[in-house]
Structure 1
Amino acid sequence: MVAETLHPSRVRLFSPARAWVRRVLVDKLREAGDPLGNGAVVMEAFRYAMFCLLVLMCFGERLDEPAVRAIAAAQRDWLAFVAKNPSVFAFWPALTRRLFRRRLQAGLDARRRQKELFVPLINDRRDRKKQLSESAAAAATAATKKDTTFEHAYVDTLLDLRLPNEEDGHDRALTDDEMANLCSEFLTAGTDTTSTALQWIMAELVKNPSIQAKLHAEIESTCNNDDDHDEVTEDDTHAMPYLKAVVLEGLRRHPPAHFLLTHKAGEDVEVGGYTIPKGAAVNFTVAEMGWDAREWDRPMEFVPERFLPGGEGDGVDVTGSREIRMMPFGAGRRICAGLGVAMLHLEYFVANLVREFEWKEVPGHEVDLTETQEFTTVMKKPLRPILVPRRNQTTPTPH
């Protein structure tokens, strides 16, 4: 995944996909607008758009809305099972599998549904791969067969993998079950985290209109105030230091995951005067690191300027290679594999959403930054802003 699908050269291949999803998201937000001025609930649109993008990156196919929503529903069912039940079945499995057989069946049904949806898409890529390898003519036909089919997909890399087979000593391909499970992980890792971070950042921009105005000015300056400049591109975002500062401050103040996956000490070790014994479970308090008053001035305030040159966060490395003052993606060898693409998606969508709309607070219904825990740490009261179009509306995009 890291060497192929998430490599920068591969990620650039998905720029048409990002542009399509941007148009889908803008259309969804326009549809969600309330003519009575009560604001639009935007999180559902964020989740749907991110899911469209991750499904396309996974399977290499631009699917219609019913197909995307069917995959999203199957993913939700599986995550609901995983969130509630694994510890039950880990205790005395021979007994709990019998006592809670209905729960177990629900999990098996969720996996079966995923496979029903994923395997036909995997087979389409398998057939395409076979066509591309047969002849140049077939390759040209396959490459131009459908304008919804993309050159690269995560599934392509899974089809190329070979695992050692201990029984006969020959390498084997991944099974359909294994590929379906890996596709499920791919979709899970990149959807809720990004849509959650996007909602928190946009909530802060609604709550802080002066910051939003400063960001909008940078975007328009970079795009030369040109309405024909259809989108803020990935190359455009490279020239926007304040945009990067806004995203970093959003991740510092509102990391989607307040804890990383639990680690375990491999040996006895001293940390800050405490002995961590070998085998002890270790949790990293990601949010509290970013809110540490010993490291950050006014840590609970949203101040993107701290990440500009000369600010206290100037040069902060979110990978933790030099020092760790915030670690929204973890650090070290177990750092999030999707760090680069997550930052790209956040910068791209924040910039385009601010360019497309002015995000305003609903009078009498101020933004509430109270948190609640779901799969990620989300807003307890979902963001519901008034969206004022800044540019001429375009024809709605087919979903």
Structure 2
Amino acid sequence: MQLWLVALLTLLFSASVHFLAKRRRRKTRLPPGPVAVPFLGNLLWLRHSLGDIESLLRDLHRKHGPIVTLRIGSRPAIFISDRGLAHKVLVEQGAAFSDRPAPLPATRFLSSNQHNISSAAYGPLWRLLRRNLMSEILHPSRVRLYAHGREWVLGVLGGHLHAQSRSSEDGSVVAKDSFQFAMFCLLVLMCFGEKLDEEAIREIESAQRGILLYARNLNVLQFFPAVTKHVFRSRWRTAAEMRRRQTEICLPLIKARREHKRRQLDTEERFVYSYLDSLLDVKLPEEGGRGLAEDEMVSLCSEFLNAGTDTTSTALQWIMAELVRNPDVQKKLYEEISSSVSSSGAVKEEELQKVPYLKAVVLEGLRRHPPGHFVLPHAASEEVEIEGYVIPKEATINFMVAEMGWDGRVWEEPMEFKPERFLGGGGAGGVDVTGSREIKMMPFGAGRRICPGLGLAMLHLEYFVANLVREFEWRAAEGHEVDLSEKNEFTTVMKYPLRARLVPRRSS
């Protein structure tokens, strides 16, 4: 009996050692990547900045394959460039990869400690906030209520472009700022329910863009945060001051809307329902049923404005740039609009479905020039094995959107602008832009954290592209050929903004 007991204990001990050794080996089997050192991360950051990350990743993927690991500071960050692998992670195993990385303690104030949709952890709070946005503002019946707002903004945009064209000797315009301001006007109306004057809109826009662009200066806090939070404390203070200014601008609008809503309940006065109105009614069951704090409303309103402004205005500029570079595409689009739309004025929203080539032009613009070359980072909520590699719990997962849309195995001549590739094949060329069946392009992400504003963004792009092409012929300005070089800001923008000569198509 003693011999059997010794043998059994020896066997159990050996099995335990083998299990622990195997587990340790599994835990270190991360996807391949460059050499890293504890706390500091990859040594390549001594020679490169985060601004070089896309070209750097292309080299790493060529060397190591479609999934690589970088260490930005102490955290492992996984980067995926393959569309099939992205579908496996985001759709097939979406539940395990739908979380968000926890923000650094020094930057939590920017999202009210993850109390917004884009940064909230995958759980009850995220579901509540996303459901509120989808049902109260982005539902098609709600979106239709803002048709008058889109007509108003189209008038603002057209006025800016006509004035700029008339004031230049050759009739040329630099459309970037006009596009951005028009989209911001529209999102301010949807967010706050008010047609504010230009000065007020500019003030909100300045506060938003200031903190949005400055936030990149906080990236250094990812490297050895115990030290950098002290060394770069002035950057944190600057960001905090920008946040304070943003709050000061938004709080009067929040208080006015609360009073407006109370008065409407008392008098049955009619007013335009806004995103802010929906936030005033939100209760957080997981936090004792409390309402949203004013700071949290500021974060959610800021998120709403940012998400719908830069991405749409950037995509609009890229699409119009391609129409200038490809006059035959622009001519075909104009002829189809003219033959399909009966009204003599602006193209109405309900008429957009009559112009299939319009949707093809917009989709090709998003494929060739996605405003975001990466989706927002995901985080693993548990340890998962993918393609023989172990993705640790809480690891950050990133997806290279542009690389997937330029995959030569899917798209013939992927760097060329060819809207015809989206015609036929069961609508939009048989491409499911949501990526639920297969990912061929993913400008809005995919899976459970796909951009909730997908439908609104497509509507805005189709509406404004159709009307800009109907109102003007967009020609290359003499001496200013369209340059497709890129630059990273909040989105991937044109390094040299589009300058085009506008020829009005109608005397009005």
Q: Conserved in 2, the CA contact under 8 Å of 1:194 and 1:346?
A: yes
The amino acid across from 1:218 in the alignment is E
> Does the C-alpha gap of structure 1 residues 304 and 101 become closer, same or farther in structure 2, counting only changes over 3 Å?
same
Amino acid at match of 1:172: R
Greater mean deviation of Cα atoms: 342-351 or 125-134:
125-134
Encode CA deviations 1:108-137: one digit per residue, 9 max, x unaligned.
Answer: 211111111111111121112111222xxx
TM-score normalized by the length of structure 2: 0.70
Gaps of 5+ in 1: 144-149, 394-399
Q: What is the CA distance between 1:362 and its match in structure 2? A: 1.7
Q: Could you tell me which of 67, 72, 82 is aligned with 2:200?
A: 67
Which residue is equivalent to 1:151? Answer: 272
- Three-state SS of the structure 2 residue aligned to 1:378 is strand
- Tell me the equivalent position of 1:397: none
Aligned partner letter, 1:50: M
Structure 2 portions without partners, runs of 5+: 1-132
CA contact (8 A) 1:305 1:311 kept: no
- Indicate whether 1:277 and 2:391 are aligned: yes
Indicate the residue corresponding to 2:480 in structure 1: 365
Aligned-partner Cα distance in 2 for 1:313–1:233: 21
CA contact (8 A) 1:40 1:387 kept: yes
Return the offset for 1:310.
4.2
Equivalent pairs, count: 373
Check 1:311–1:291 CA distance in 2 against 1; reply closer, same or farther (3 A cut): farther
**1:158 CA displacement:** 0.5
Match of 1:190 among 308, 323, 327: 308
Q: Would the aligned equivalents of 1:89 and 1:97 in 2 still touch at CA under 8 Å?
A: no
Q: CA deviation at 1:86?
A: 4.9
Match of 1:127 in 2: 259
Are the equivalent residues in 1 in contact too, given 2:171–2:502 (CA < 8 A)? Answer: no
Which residue number in structure 1 is paired with residue 374 of structure 2? 259
Q: Deviations over 1:366-395 (max 9, x none)?
A: 1111111111111111100000111133xx
Q: Does 1:341 align with 2:456?
A: yes
Quote the Cα distance in structure 2 between the aligned partners of 1:81 and 1:40.
Answer: 28
Change beyond 3 A, Cα 1:312–1:269: farther
TM-score, structure 1 as length reference: 0.89
Q: Deviations over 1:313-346 (max 9, x none)?
A: 6120100111110000000101001101000000
Aligned counterparts of 1:46 and 1:101: Cα–Cα separation in 2:
36
Map Cα deviations across residues 63-104 of structure 1 (whole Å, 9 max, x no partner).
1111111001101121133221154278445x6554434322
SS state of the match for residue 78, structure 1? helix
Secondary structure of 1:314 counterpart: helix
**Which has a greater percent of helix?**
2
C-alpha contact (below 8 Å) 1:296/1:312 kept by paired residues: no
The structure-2 alpha-carbon separation of the partners of 1:129 and 1:91, relative to structure 1 and needing over 3 Å to count, comes to: farther
2: CA distance, partners of 1:173 / 1:361: 52
Letter in 2 for 1:118: C
For 2:163, the equivalent position in structure 1 comes to 31
Deviations 1:164-212 (A, max 9, x none): 475xxx4211111111111111111111100000000000000001100
Q: Are the aligned partners of 1:17 and 1:56 in contact in 2 as well (CA < 8 Å)?
A: yes
Identity %: 57
1:5 is matched with which residue?
137
Task: Tell me the distance in 2 between the aligned counterparts of 1:175 and 1:67.
Answer: 23
In the alignment, residue 252 of structure 1 is paired with which amino acid? R
Pair 1:388 & 2:503 matched: yes
Give 2:245's aligned residue.
113
2:194 counterpart of 1:58: no
Shift of 1:16: 0.4
Secondary structure, in 3 states, of the residue corresponding to 1:131? helix
1:315 matched residue in structure 2: 430
Query: Does the 8 A contact of 1:359 with 1:388 survive in 2?
Result: yes
Aligned AA (2:332): K
How many Å separate the matches in 2 of 1:156 and 1:91? Answer: 41
Choose which of 281, 301, 306 in structure 1 pairs with 2:421: 306
